[in-house]
Amino acid sequence: MNIPISINDLLQLAHQAGDAILAVYNTDFMVEKKQDNSPLTAADTAAHRLIVSNLEQLTPEIPVLSEESSEVPFSTRRQWQRYWLIDPLDGTREFVKRNGEFTVNIALIERNTPILGVVHAPVLGTTYYGIQGSGAWKQEADQPARSIRVVDRCKKPVRVAGSRSHAGDSLQRFLEKLGAHELVSMGSSLKLCLVAEGRADIYPRLGPTSEWDTAAAQAVVEAAGGRVTTLDLQPLEYNTKDSLLNPHFLVFGDSDRKWSDYL
């Protein structure tokens, strides 16, 4: 596969963005509201500027779409065969709560599919990354990266990744139908990474997300042998429509279990 940038350069960029975020995190920062009422801080803006400017220098031939610069019309985007999809600070609500469960997400999309993804959690000192056809890895602090893989036969009770900030009635109904389970709560795209490294069996996302929220972690999950699908078990795809909102989706390692039966 032709990856246009070394993975080490991309990891370094994610860490630099994490450092820019921490520089704000450790201050008495202000919280603004975007048009959709979601929070915005100086950390989002600083990480966005750093990532976009560096990618534009490193890969000037590849367009960049970021949550903080998402006003690119579909008539333009639909021409892109390959592009960077960025969430400079995924989990701003977790950032505001200061619980550390937020990430820098950088994904490379090719023909509507994430083929490369980096998910960096600066407070936790943890980075996940995956490359289609090559594998997925987790790196903690200064330790060497280790290969990760989904669990392809789910545990008993089933370990379900769930949101700290977005649990709702749909998830409760899913859990009731599922039966015996253990709920593993986590913020941001780290929930997908729990499945990727085998610490959770299923992550049902039955609420709104945007494409930049999921792309990098989806690349990690799929490189680790898992699947990210719509509720009818079709692959979750990107840049196929005017809206950048995702449908509801499922993330899992055990493909023999029909997870849609619990919806």
Average pLDDT over residues 24-47: 86
Tell me: the pLDDT tens digits for 140-173? 998 999 999 999 999 899 999 987 555 578 888 9
What whole-number distance in Å separates Cα of residue 105 and Cα of residue 204?
20
Cα-flanking dihedrals φ and ψ of residue 142, to 5°?
Answer: -100, 10
The pLDDT tens digits for 164-216 are 555 578 888 999 999 999 999 898 899 999 999 999 999 999 999 999 999 99
Q: How far is CA 36 from the centre of its chain?
A: 20
The structure tokens listed for 67 are: 């949550």
119 pLDDT band (50/70/90 cuts)?
very high
Q: For residue 243, what are the CA distances in angstroms to 109, 110, 129, 141, 166?
A: 16, 18, 27, 37, 21
- Whether the CB-CB separation of 80 and 63 falls below 8 Å is answered with yes
Q: Output the pLDDT for position 165.
A: 56
Task: Give the Cα separation of 252 and 228 in Å (integer).
Answer: 7
Report the pLDDT value the prediction gives residue 177, as an integer from 0 to 100.
95
Q: Among 33-47, 86-100, 202-216, 223-237, where is mean pLDDT lowest?
A: 33-47
Place of tokens 């979601």: 38
| Angle, alpha carbons 184-187-193 (nearest 5°) | 70
More confident residue, 1 or 260: 260
How far is the CA of 109 from the CAs of 83, 85, 167, 229, 238, in angstroms? 5, 7, 28, 16, 8
Asked if pLDDT for residue 4 goes beyond 80, the answer is yes
The whole-number pLDDT of residue 206 equals 93
Band (pLDDT 50/70/90 cuts) for residue 33 is: confident
Query: Which one is predicted more confidently, 68 or 193?
Result: 193
The pLDDT mean for the chain works out to 93
What pLDDT does 167 receive?
59
End-to-end CA distance of the chain: 36
| DSSP H helices in 72-137 | 74-77, 92-97
Residue spans of alpha helices (H) in 60-210: 74-77, 92-97, 169-178, 190-196
- Specify which residues 103 forms β-bridges with: 90
- The pLDDT of residue 117: 98
Give 91-111 pLDDT, tens digit per residue.
888 888 889 999 999 999 999
